[in-house]
Every structure is written in structure tokens, then in C-alpha cells.
Homo-oligomer: A and B are copies of this chain.
Amino acid sequence: MSNSTPATIEDVARIANVSIATVSRAIHMPEKVANSTRLKVNQAIAVTGYTTNAMARSLRLGRSNMILVVAPDIGDPNFSNILIGLENEARSHGYGILIGHTQNDAQRGLEYLKFLNSNQAAGLILFTGILPFGHQTMTARLPPSVGVFEPVFNGGIPYVGVDDVAGARKAVDLLIAEGHRKIAFIGDSRTRLAYSRRRMGYEAGMDAAEIGADLRIVFEGDGTVESGRLAVEQLFMRDTLPTAFMCVNDQTAIGVMIGLKTRGYDIPRDFSVTGFDDVPQAVFMTPSLTTIRQPRTAIGKHAMALLLELLSNGQPTETEILLLPDLVVRNSVSAPSRVRR
């Protein structure tokens, strides 16, 4: 029972008085063994406390039951919730999850490539738009892979993300519904494709409301808190000001709010602000931030489901799954005040 070495399939076979092949079958193809035998085997398993040695199994099968998740930054607030979705889905199908984070370092990426090459992972989930494997990327033999959030640069890898255009549209539509016309978009078209798409949502919303280019203000930031603050500074130097700031993400929105508060303005009385992502601190801001919530757990779940399908079928059913994010209304948006500047 509490022996020093774990029980093997052979121990079970001896006790159940069958061959090891039968034990293996009783476990993995129960319908192939007689009821009476299956019973004996199960009892023997209970007695010995046997659990199958995953290493031996993986070796024999030529594939592991582990899936590698590679992310540039584990600390990213998006990450942990997506991970929950990934993990739940994986576990319910007998897979485990292995996490690697590259910190955008090609050297570290290579280690994961080696890891993959040594067959230690059956599949790969990528949290970055570019393969983190340095210059060997092109020749790399990858296991079935799925991208999260962004299409992976090297074609042929399906991905699961969020419909950024539709999400951004929800934000701009809210502002317009509240009566705003002159709405600034504080964006970032360089770092992430998702950010460009959010801009598209903004433009589409403005188009739909037939708000002309003269009332549109687009500030190119870089998605950081500081860039939001900077945007406010810059816009204040110009002549015309918006009544609302639609920000490409929550970080930027936080920066905008800091900038506005520093200048003594009240949000949302003087200016409305929206974000995107719903990071954890969004709810703790004063005022709490109206934003677009990433369906993080769902993204994880879908990504893993897609990967598992890939692992069994070999062919992806879909090459792109976009989930619809929700608008979270909090206190940073109101109707524009009549008396303004």
C-alpha cells in the first residue's frame, strides 16, 4: 500500500491474476474486457493504489498529455483568467498544462522550442503574435498550435480572439448615445493588431452616427498609462477639446484620467472616459472605469477546445474564432455637460 515505490501495472496484473495487457485494456478500453475481469482489475487497482506512469505511457505513445502555453508576460492581468479557461478545458480532456513565459527573450524562446522538439508537449498555445523562437522560427517543426488574442505571424495557425471592432463599437456607441459628438480616440496602431481593430470600431461608430471628420480626434499613443496622460497634455494645447475620451485600452484610460484629474477636472462631469480590457483595477478607479470586458475565461476555453480538436482531427474546423466582448458600464461616462470651455 504505502510502499516506497509506486505500484506498476505488473503489480496490478499479479493481484488480479491477469496479464498486464488485460490491465491496460481494462483501463483504456473497458468495453474490450469481460465484466468479471474488469471487476478484478479494478479491485486490484484499488488495493495497490496504482496510477499509470505518465512517462512510460508518453514514451510508448510518442506524445505527452501536456500542452505548452507560451506567453510573453505571465503577470499580464489578462493571462490568469484565460489560463483558467485553458486549464479547465484541458483537464476535462485528460491534458495538463505547462506554462512558459518568454519575457520577449528569443533565447528563452529557443529553450521552449527544444522542449517542444523533445516531444514533451503535445500541443502549443501561443499568447503572442510572433513565434517566440528567434530566427529558427521558419524551420521549426511545431506541434498542433493555437494562437490567443492575435493571429500568429507564421500563417496556418488558427487563433481565438476577441472581436475588437465590435467591442470598440460598443464603447463609441455608448458615448454617442449619451450625447457625445466630439469623441477623441486615444490609440496605438503600432504594437498590437487588436489596437488597430479597435480604432476601426471607433471609426465605424462615428461613421454610423454620421459624425464628420472635423469632430474626430485621433491621438497615437503606445498603450501605456503614460501615453494616456500625454494625450491629455497634448490635446489641451490644441484649440478644440473632445467631450469624451475613448481609449484603446484601460492603461491608456487610467493615464487619461490621471491627466484630467491633475488639471482639476471631474470625471464624468467634465469629461467621459472609456477603456478596453477591464483590467482588475478598473473597478477601483475613482470614478470606476466604464470599459469593454474581455471574455477571458471563454477565450481560454475556446482556444483549448480548438487545440484539442486539432490534436484529434489534425485539421482545424475554423481558422479564426472571434468572441464578442461585453460593455461594462461604470461611472466614468455621463452625458456631456452643457457648460464647457
Chain B hits for A114, CB < 8 A: 51
Contact stretch, chosen from A77-85, A153-161, A192-200, A314-322: A77-85
Given A83-B74, A284-B285, A117 contacting B6 (CB threshold 8 A): yes
A286 touches which of B77, B87, B98, B286 (Cβ 8 Å): B286
Chain B residue with Cβ nearest A285: B284
Chain B hits for A281, CB < 8 A: 280-281, 284
Separation of A119 and B53 alpha carbons in the complex (Å): 7
Separation of A51 and B281 alpha carbons in the complex (Å): 44
Chain B residue with Cβ nearest A59: B55
A115 at the interface (CB under 8 A from B): yes
Separation of A139 and B2 alpha carbons in the complex (Å): 8
Task: Give this chain's copy count.
Answer: 2
A111 at the interface (CB under 8 A from B): yes
Given A54-B120, A59-B53, A98-B96, A84 contacting B75 (CB threshold 8 A): yes
A313 at the interface (CB under 8 A from B): no
Contact, CB under 8 Å: A75 / B80: yes
Chain B hits for A118, CB < 8 A: 6, 51-54
A104 at the interface (CB under 8 A from B): no
Contact, CB under 8 Å: B284 / A254: yes
A91 at the interface (CB under 8 A from B): yes
Q: Which residues 221-254 in A have Cβ within 8 Å of B in the complex? A: 254
Separation of A31 and B59 alpha carbons in the complex (Å): 29
Q: Which residues 107-125 in A have Cβ within 8 Å of B in the complex? A: 108, 111, 114-115, 117-120
A272 at the interface (CB under 8 A from B): no
Separation of A202 and B118 alpha carbons in the complex (Å): 53
User: Can you give 27 A-B contacts (C-beta < 8 A)?
Assistant: A2-B141, A6-B118, A6-B119, A51-B114, A52-B118, A53-B118, A54-B115, A54-B118, A54-B119, A54-B120, A55-B55, A55-B119, A59-B59, A66-B98, A74-B84, A79-B80, A80-B80, A84-B101, A87-B101, A91-B111, A96-B98, A97-B99, A99-B99, A280-B280, A280-B281, A281-B281, A284-B284
